[in-house]
Amino acid sequence: MRMISSGIARQMESSSWIRKMFEKGAELKRVYGSENVFDFSLGNPDIPPPAQAGEVLRVLADDLVRPLGMGYCPNAGLPPVRAALAEMLSSEQGVELRQEHVVVSCGAAGALNSFFRAVLEPGDEVICPAPYFVEYGAYCGHFGGILKPVASLPPRFALNFAAIKAALTEKTRVVLINSPNNPTGCVYNQDELRALGEWIESVNSQRESPVYLVSDEPYRFLAYDGVSVPPVLPLSRFAVVIGSFSKKLSMPGERIGYIAVNPELPDVQVLINAITLTTRTLGFVNAPVIGQHMIHAMLNEGVDMDVYLERRAAMADVLRGAGIRFQMPEGAFYFFPEVPGGGDDVKFVADLLARNVLAVPGSGFGYSGYFRLSFCVEVEVIRRSADAFKAVMQPYE
């Protein structure tokens, strides 16, 4: 009996390495104790939300007596929240946005799904630099879209602009970028992005259905060493920015994100209305109301970045001490080191697992020969992992 669709069956067979390793970590912690397991698998922020979060929740609790305190809200989000987001994004992006250019979403993932549902026809293609967040393939695939990964340029994992241009076909509908990048920590610079935006404009001058430039930016706030994350909206009329507060406010479970569209986009309101519709019809209905109130009160707040800076330095020390080659991440909270000798990343991750170190193979992100480490763990855990990394590296010396 065929109980589920063939497409979902294929996704289950190749389900996310990230989740597989996370679940394996939970099993190892039960057997060996959490203090003896070094789980760098999942980008799940462990830093508490800003202190103001508790006060906001207390105020909300007292306010729930009002009519519709926890009722449905407009599908595009609470109007005051959209207006505040538009003001914040206008400053951040350098483009004047109004609330009608912003939709509050059920996380960045919800924004991407709503956007893809609004613009993709079956067989349309989404070009994406690799390595990439593995769920992208499912997000566009749900609606008949096809993800076309294009290998980035190591060691920094810069955009391979020539390869992106070569991947363009009549079916291309979206160029999707993610900066700061998961899993590499790369931040695309102004020159890279300007060239991409100019190319998008040139391509669309000759097309009936435009190619959108979509920037997925949940790690925008988290850049190091004075690196800036350039705004994308000014680069093309066809630019769309997606973000979330999961990492910035350490609230990934509350599922609050947004999608902002360049107001100069032809028929901009048609796209916004379509995204509002698909937000409803995909079953999100509206982003969580409590979360919307929380981010509204904390738009200018954020977690303590010094914690991530310390962890990044500790992880770099551990990798150097073990003789593992890596590029220092410019943003986000991941390292993407090389497998020694360019070897089998799945085997190397299995070797790490035998030492109770949980990592994710680069092939899970469409880029073999590397592996990802998340430093969403306490600095003491990172430092205690040093002997395990050294032991795994001994056969390569």
* CATH number of 385's domain: 3.90.1150.10
The answer as to whether 321 is a domain residue is: yes
Say what the pLDDT of residue 268 is: 97
Looking at 10-14, 32-36, 98-102, which range is the least confident one? 10-14
Say what the pLDDT of residue 202 is: 97
- Among residues 254, 275, 297, the one where a domain terminates is 297
Residue 64 above 60 pLDDT? Answer: yes
Say what the pLDDT of residue 115 is: 98
The answer as to whether 1 is a domain residue is: no
Looking at 24-28, 34-38, 99-103, 309-313, which range is the least confident one? 24-28
Residues in the chain: 397
The mean pLDDT value for 37-52 works out to 90
Residue 246 above 90 pLDDT? Answer: yes
- Give buried/exposed letters for 238-262 (b at 16+ CB in 10 A, else e): bbbbbbbbbbbbbbbebbbbbbbbb
Q: How confident is the model at residue 141 (pLDDT cuts 50, 70, 90)?
A: very high
Say what the pLDDT of residue 14 is: 57
Say what the pLDDT of residue 16 is: 65
Say what the pLDDT of residue 12 is: 67
Residue 85 sits in the same domain as residue 16: no
Residue 235 sits in the same domain as residue 346: no
Residue 154 above 60 pLDDT? Answer: yes
Residue 181 sits in the same domain as residue 278: yes
- What is the pairing mode between strands 371-374 and 334-335? antiparallel
Residue 307 sits in the same domain as residue 250: no
- Among residues 297, 326, 355, the one where a domain terminates is 297
The CA–CA distances, whole Å, from 307 to 217, 254, 312, 367 equal 20, 22, 9, 29
Which residues pair with residue 357 across a beta bridge?
A: 38
Q: Domain tally for the chain? A: 2
User: To which residue do tokens 């004075």 refer?
Assistant: 226
Residue 176 sits in the same domain as residue 312: no
CB hemisphere CA count around 26 (13 angstroms):
6
CB-neighbour burial class of residue 206 (10 A; exposed 0-12, middle 13-18, buried 19+): exposed
Residue 66 sits in the same domain as residue 197: yes
Residue 292 sits in the same domain as residue 367: no
Residue 36 above 90 pLDDT? Answer: no
The mean pLDDT value for 364-374 works out to 95
* CA pair distance 251, 256, nearest whole angstrom: 8
Residue 31 sits in the same domain as residue 102: no
Residue 123 sits in the same domain as residue 22: no
Looking at 41-45, 124-128, 142-146, 151-155, which range is the least confident one? 41-45
- Give buried/exposed letters for 155-188 (b at 16+ CB in 10 A, else e): ebbbbbbebbeebeeeebbbbbbbbbbbbbbbbb
User: Domain containing 338: what range?
Assistant: 6-49+303-396
pLDDT 10s digits, 78-115: 999 999 999 999 999 999 999 999 999 999 999 999 99
Residue 353 above 80 pLDDT? Answer: yes
Residue 149 above 90 pLDDT? Answer: yes
The answer as to whether 138 is a domain residue is: yes
Residue 30 sits in the same domain as residue 97: no
Residue 19 above 80 pLDDT? Answer: no
pLDDT averaged over the chain?
A: 93
Q: pTM to 2 decimals?
A: 0.94
The answer as to whether 208 is a domain residue is: yes
Residue 17 above 70 pLDDT? Answer: no
Residue 276 above 70 pLDDT? Answer: yes
* Higher pLDDT pick, 304 / 69: 304
* Higher pLDDT pick, 2 / 324: 324
Residue 40 sits in the same domain as residue 66: no
| Neighbour tally for 14: CB within 10 Å | 10
Residue 346 sits in the same domain as residue 329: yes
Say what the pLDDT of residue 10 is: 72
Say what the pLDDT of residue 25 is: 72
